[in-house]
Structure 1
Amino acid sequence: MGIPLSLLDRSRTRQGQPDAAALHQTVERARRAEATGYERFWVSEHHGVPGVASGTPALLAQAVAAATSTIRVGSGGVMLPNHRPIVVAEEFAVLTALHGGRFDLGLGRSLGFTKPVREALGALKSLPRDFAADIQSVRDYLDGAADITIRPADTGEIPLFVLGTGSGLKIAAQLGLPAVVGGPLLAAGPEPFDEYRAEFRPSAQQAEPYLVASVEMYVADSASEAHDLALPEAWAMSQSRLTGAFPPLAPTTSLPTELTQRQESYVGQALSSTIAGTEDRVLSEVSEMLARTGADEIMSTASTFDESAMYATDEKLARAIASL
């Protein structure tokens, strides 16, 4: 591939299936991504969310690594307000000792989805300065620079990535780390990315800035087919904004055809942040995004109800991006 292409899989649950099925689908998707030539495969951390099956990225990364052999495996990301830095460092040191040096440690600072979840996690606040200090602590433990030597020791380098909100980009620049950017910030002008590069301080891990653009991407044989692939996730996002609960994916055929004004607005907003269409359309939009952001890598976050269709669009996307 001309530009690295990666996948973030959130272990999305699906109507009519047990939560456990989502975890098996994540592992199967990783196998297929490796065979197709994806650069890395990341898993996420969410707690108490009906639409997401996994809250333990290190455990799921272990399962993915056991089922693959060459693709990089990582977290997108471990949410540091929920963990002690020493425990995070130990978990990924164990993974590396067992499966070799192909792990990435993506770190974020999002809190739980609801107040009861935040209270259960003990993560009631998350300040940028605390996030930066915790990232540095994780790095110190992994580098052997902390007061305590974690075990297993001497497992080799484990690259850190920062999930970038506005403050996340600044922290990544200050610490000399790659940044992963998605959502509204990705749709903004080039200023945040130019600032990240201008303020970047080279580190032992990263000599130069490195930006990963994270976006839902669907490639299909027709625009209508691509729209149908993107719709279940867009509907779930709209429901989360209307009801406060992020639901399992539902088949397109079961979704209402007549929407209220608010439903239509939220679905439209969700679809506007995706890249979906035929190969030519997707390549055009990806090229525009790369020109606007200067991203060094692309990460797809797409999910849809039909897992066979999801695997197929992953393959089509890889073939399309390979031509860039």
Structure 2
Amino acid sequence: MTPFSLLDLAPVSEGATTADALHQTVSLARHAEALGYRRYWLAEHHAMPGIASAATAVLVGHVAAHTSRIRVGSGGIMLPNHSPLMVAEEFGTLATLHPDRIDLGLGRAPGTDGRTAQALRRNLDVTDNFPADVMELLRYLGEPQPDAIQAVPGQGTRVPVWILGSSLYGAQLAAHLGLPYAFASHFAPPALDAALAAYRETFRPSDDLDRPHAMVAVNVFAAGDDAEGRRLRTSAQLAFANLRSGRPGKLPCPVEDISAHVEPAMLRVVDQALAVSATGGPETVRRELSAIIARHRPDEVILTGQIHDPAARRRSFEIAAEVMADL
């Protein structure tokens, strides 16, 4: 069986509040734990009315405190927005409170627009400091070094660090550092094959990992039948179209006919972005997940799904867990 995990953006649905979204995140995490999901990751986004996970480390701690076994982490922390020392202290604290349950996935993008990135006090220099920042963070989480700055808590916790990416860049960095790699195929699939190949072919063993470990992100919109699965998917299609049009908002209600709401050219862009998906009833989801796994041979799959109704979202992840357990 391919291990399976869950990526949550803490969606704020139309007609709901941010408080509702955060409550549903805890409920879903408990549900995922009971269903056998290995990890529950949360993603950092800013100035997005439909995403409630901006303070990612805070939410990771909240979810970890309300669960008992499932690993909880970031998918990911956008490192250019933060000081490596502060990230080490935050996740070192989390790992101290919840031993052997915390993951730290790192991304290179700001997770927002340019104006908000400036408000985050990012270093907007064109120089790419991501590799150096990752290595600095790894030092803070490793064993103490003489006369070096220490992260307290953090030093010696060896929180598992993942590199996230949607291009060859992250794959090559993860391979060079000997770290696990997660590809954002749930919204940016074009480079998936090339990135996985680059990661596996150039991987260098490290003290943390002796062989490549690649995770692939997959959208799941599962329901009782194919028609309902396709209807649930329309919320994600509408949200993506709104984002690409410069109108981010709360997660829309599903519609019966997506073509009546999104222009053909935009719909093609959206469907290309959502190409790595399993949509429909249990048998269709089984067939599509099986095909994705057979093609890409991931060491782990992380499932996500922007579904408007929390009950339908929980049921989708139930169906997905049943399918994954049988594959």
- TM superposition score normalised by structure 2: 0.92
How many Å apart are 1:236 and its aligned residue?
0.5
Q: Decide whether aligned partners of structure 1 residues 163 and 24 sit closer, same or farther in structure 2, where only a CA change above 3 A counts.
A: same
Q: Following superposition of structure 1 onto structure 2, how do residues 180-259 of structure 1 map, counting pairs within 5 Å?
A: 180-183=182-185, 186-188=189-191, 190-242=193-245, 244-253=246-255, 258-259=260-261
What CA distance in whole angstroms lies between the structure 2 residues aligned with 1:176 and 1:74?
19
On the 8 A contact 2:144/2:156 being kept in 1, the answer is no
On the 8 A contact 1:65/1:99 being kept in 2, the answer is yes
Cα deviation, 1:188-232, whole Å, max 9, x if unaligned, reads: 463332221111111111111000001211222211111111110
Query: Identity over the aligned pairs, expressed in percent?
Result: 37
On the 8 A contact 1:237/1:267 being kept in 2, the answer is yes
Q: Which runs of no fewer than 5 residues in structure 2 stay unpaired? A: none
What CA distance in whole angstroms lies between the structure 2 residues aligned with 1:254 and 1:228?
6
What CA distance in whole angstroms lies between the structure 2 residues aligned with 1:93 and 1:278?
41
Q: Following superposition of structure 1 onto structure 2, how do residues 1-324 of structure 1 map, counting pairs within 5 Å?
A: 2-123=1-122, 125=124, 129-145=128-144, 147-152=148-153, 156-165=157-166, 166-183=168-185, 186-188=189-191, 190-242=193-245, 244-253=246-255, 258-259=260-261, 260-324=263-327
Q: Decide whether aligned partners of structure 1 residues 316 and 158 sit closer, same or farther in structure 2, where only a CA change above 3 A counts.
A: same
Cα deviation, 1:103-146, whole Å, max 9, x if unaligned, reads: 00000011242221011013364878511111111110000355
What CA distance in whole angstroms lies between the structure 1 residues aligned with 2:112 and 2:257?
24
On the 8 A contact 2:231/2:256 being kept in 1, the answer is no
On the 8 A contact 1:234/1:270 being kept in 2, the answer is no
In structure 1, give the amino acid aligned to 2:206.
S
How many Å apart are 1:153 and its aligned residue?
5.2
- TM superposition score normalised by structure 1: 0.93
In structure 1, give the amino acid aligned to 2:143.
G
What CA distance in whole angstroms lies between the structure 1 residues aligned with 2:234 and 2:171?
30
What CA distance in whole angstroms lies between the structure 2 residues aligned with 1:257 and 1:289?
26
- When structure 1 is superposed on structure 2, of 20-29 and 272-281 the one drifting more is 272-281
Q: Which runs of no fewer than 5 residues in structure 1 stay unpaired? A: none
Q: What SS class does the counterpart of residue 175 from structure 2 fall into?
A: helix
How many Å apart are 1:305 and its aligned residue?
0.5
How many Å apart are 1:276 and its aligned residue?
0.8
Q: Decide whether aligned partners of structure 1 residues 228 and 316 sit closer, same or farther in structure 2, where only a CA change above 3 A counts.
A: same
What CA distance in whole angstroms lies between the structure 1 residues aligned with 2:151 and 2:40?
26
On the 8 A contact 1:45/1:78 being kept in 2, the answer is yes
Q: Decide whether aligned partners of structure 1 residues 210 and 153 sit closer, same or farther in structure 2, where only a CA change above 3 A counts.
A: closer
On the 8 A contact 2:108/2:165 being kept in 1, the answer is no
In structure 2, give the amino acid aligned to 1:245.
R
